[in-house]
Chain A
């Protein structure tokens, strides 16, 4: 027990004193999150833009609804110019009771959408004006749909990828450097089991993964990115642990075959990068060809991504962990077994 505690303590210290490891574990994936987050920030915000000239209770109603992004103009020609330039799809000119909607004809779908929505507001205002209760009542309520805002999609994906990177690299580089520097041989001469050494290194990787989770979610939740966590976010914790186990075993396998640190990081990159793309960590793979989907479904990272999405932002419960857990644990057992077979104490 004391051996386990002090070994993991030593490895935690070693890890946090290694600037390069810290960079690749925390800053590098966070950079991806920031870049993609900013790139796609507005892509999901499909509010209709409309130019407004004049004022009316209808405008207030439109503003309240949140459907439109209103841009006010003082004179009509300026607003129309914007429509002509293609910057704004339509302009609503108000002259007392007269509403004049001018739209660009180039994009008919968008024009129809705008006309339809504005029509709805006008009709509603008319009903109110008659003083009669409306004959039909339409109630609307929001539903969490599966087409998420980009940050909702990016955070679970990039977090899973970041965890896979640090677990694979951490395990592979430690193994290679300990073998090269004879630390493994030295440990072999001490009365501690291989299991103690392995589990203390694993504890470091799990701790790092949890820390990554906290940092990623904290950054993504800032107003700049606007991540909204679902109620079951804590289910991500077992998922982080199982993901770490799976990728740690990959790292052990890579480390067993690599002669040098350089070879190990090359091999780890070769495994992790294609896997990240195929698993949809950065871009959804739903639209990709069938064979990509098939390959994707064989990858542990894909299932970790899916599980993360489900529990972090889609609000699903513990049942969403069933498939990812099964895949990740199965993967850990198989790859871990192979890694233990090819493990070498020295070169």
Chain B
């Protein structure tokens, strides 16, 4: 990741509102074509960080490079190359979904037909002629994302794009985002959903109180935890004694409905269980980013 290949490079940015350090010394780089996630609870400073990079806010101190340029003050060379979805969706009054897209598109010189085609991308074709205030929360969210993509930017900033989406829409959006990444675009996004970030992101930064606590590919973060995997079986599939005798088992626990086994060598345990035909009600829960967060902050993650 050389300096000129970096899509985003921020170093030690800070922003305070009075006594509150909203962003308190954040540094990271995002490579071109990378899918980068910023995670953290409410008030962690995600939006502020994003808006500083987009050039909407001026950092109190620190350096920001966006595609090699300084985004502040308003840098018109950068504007056509970045697509932004703000956390609060912003639309023109009384315009239909299609008209919103076309109006935003026209600001970038995108033709009306091309702009309208983005409705399909976010699954809003049947709502094309519905006024924006008559859309559901999730539909507005999707429209807002389409408006950020309408001019085919090189780098996309999405502030909680999957908030308020139902599971189906969320998955559809994941496909959209993956597709965008496949076209070589860089994506920087924030989310509250740790599981989602784990699936989508090449790298995540976990933020809290204006600081980055950890930053790595999700798998690396999880592995770094060295937390055991929990294998759960239906009660009676295996006796407690037999379970304890399995190779690589660290801890076992039984209640009225299930038997759970903790292990750091899940492959070995699972293959032995399979040999014995004792797989009834099998569930495997590996450590997740939530465990990482818990480990980093000492408190449960509440989105």
B6 at interface (Cβ–Cβ under 8 A)?
no
Whether A191 contacts B93 by the Cβ 8 Å rule is: no
How far, in Å, is A183 (CB) from chain B's closest CB?
5
Whether A18 contacts B90 by the Cβ 8 Å rule is: no
Whether A7 contacts B94 by the Cβ 8 Å rule is: no
**Contact for B107 among A11, A13, A181, A191, CB less than 8 A:** A191
How far, in Å, is A277 (CB) from chain B's closest CB?
32
Whether A185 contacts B90 by the Cβ 8 Å rule is: yes
**Contacts A10-B99, A13-B99, A182-B88 known; A187 to B107 CB distance under 8 Å?**
yes
Interfacial residues of chain A within 69-120, with CB under 8 A of chain B in the complex: none
- CB neighbours (8 Å) of B180 from chain A are none
Whether B91 contacts A183 by the Cβ 8 Å rule is: yes
**Contact for B80 among A6, A177, A191, CB less than 8 A:** A191
Q: Looking at chain A, what size class is its interface with the partner chain? A: 20 to 34
Whether A188 contacts B56 by the Cβ 8 Å rule is: yes
Whether B109 contacts A3 by the Cβ 8 Å rule is: yes
Q: In the docked arrangement, what's the CA distance between A14 and B96, Å?
A: 10
A17 at interface (Cβ–Cβ under 8 A)?
yes
- CB neighbours (8 Å) of B200 from chain A are none
Q: In the docked arrangement, what's the CA distance between A187 and B106, Å?
A: 11
**Contacts A6-B102, A7-B106 known; A13 to B95 CB distance under 8 Å?**
yes
A189 at interface (Cβ–Cβ under 8 A)?
yes
A192 at interface (Cβ–Cβ under 8 A)?
yes
Give the nearest-CB partner of B107 in chain A: A190
- CB neighbours (8 Å) of A6 from chain B are 102-103, 106, 112
- CB neighbours (8 Å) of B106 from chain A are 2-3, 5-7
Q: In the docked arrangement, what's the CA distance between A189 and B57, Å?
A: 12
Whether B92 contacts A10 by the Cβ 8 Å rule is: yes
B residues whose Cβ falls under 8 Å from a Cβ of A? 54-56, 74, 76, 79-80, 82, 84, 86, 88-95, 99, 102-104, 106-109, 112, 131, 147
Give 4 nearest A-B pairs by CB, closest first: A6-B106, A182-B90, A190-B107, A17-B94
**What are 6 A-B pairs with beta-carbon distances under 8 A?**
A18-B94, A181-B91, A183-B90, A187-B107, A189-B55, A189-B84
A residues whose Cβ falls under 8 Å from a Cβ of B? 2-3, 5-7, 10-11, 13-14, 17-18, 177, 181-183, 185-192
